[in-house]
Amino acid sequence: MLFFRTEETDISARDFLDNGDKMIYLIAFASSDGVNIDRHFGAAEKFYIAQLDTEKQDCDIIAQKDVSPACQGGSHELSGFDAVLDALGNVSAIVAQRVGYGAQEYITQKGIALYQMPLQIEQSLCLLMEEKQWEVDKWLSHTKS
């Protein structure tokens, strides 16, 4: 079962401590409304951060991050990608409606899993959890305290 709540929270690596195999993953969704994944990564002005707890098999929307879009008028700079990634913090995965080739290559080189899913956030979370995508794609993880 999935449980969603929205709460503005700052997230950092120190919030997650080693405790066996109880894993927490943070996922960023490019969304204008917190419901639909309806933004291209480079054009997104807002990301919603979900915390996935693999032990409980649940997920909470814990933060909303406002960003300056990485792409301006069809062109982009790596510094734009870095600014968005810095704002998103320790995410293990990013889900967007679309992701351009340059952004895809740059983000995956940083060790962040990337998915194109023009669905509702809840639907995409169900798919990611059903397939245990964190295991398949070897997401960077945080252990649960």
- What is the DSSP code string of 24-46? EEEEEEE-SSSSB---BGGG-SE
pLDDT at position 97 is 97
What pLDDT sits at residue 69?
Answer: 93
Count of Cβ atoms closer than 10 Å to residue 137 Cβ: 15
pLDDT of 101 higher than 80: yes
In one-letter notation, the amino acid at residue 20 is: G
Q: How far apart are CA 6 and CA 119, in angstroms?
A: 19
Q: What angle do the packed helices 101-109 and 78-88 form, to 10 degrees?
A: 50
Assess whether pLDDT exceeds 90 at residue 92: yes
- Per residue in 28-58, pLDDT (tens digit) is 999 999 999 999 999 999 999 999 988 888 8
DSSP secondary-structure letter at 109? H
**pLDDT for the residue numbered 83:** 94
What is the per-residue pLDDT for 67? 96
Of residues 121 and 59, more confidence is placed in 121
The pLDDT, as a whole number, for residue 45 is 96
Residues contacting 2, CB < 8 A, separation 6+: 58, 59, 122, 125, 126, 129
**Between 145 and 19, residue with greater pLDDT:** 145
| Cα angle: 130, vertex 131, 133; to 5 degrees | 120
pTM check: above 0.85: no
* pLDDT of 110 higher than 50: yes
d(CA 67, CA 83) in angstroms, rounded, equals: 8
Q: Which residue has the tokens 């023009």?
A: 118
Q: Which two tokens stand for residue 108?
A: 């995956």
Question: Residue 140: its pLDDT value, please?
Answer: 63
In this model, does residue 12 exceed pLDDT 70?
A: no
Phi/psi at 88 (5° precision): -75, -20
For the chain, which domains are there?
Answer: 13-143 (3.30.420.130)
pLDDT of residue 5: 34
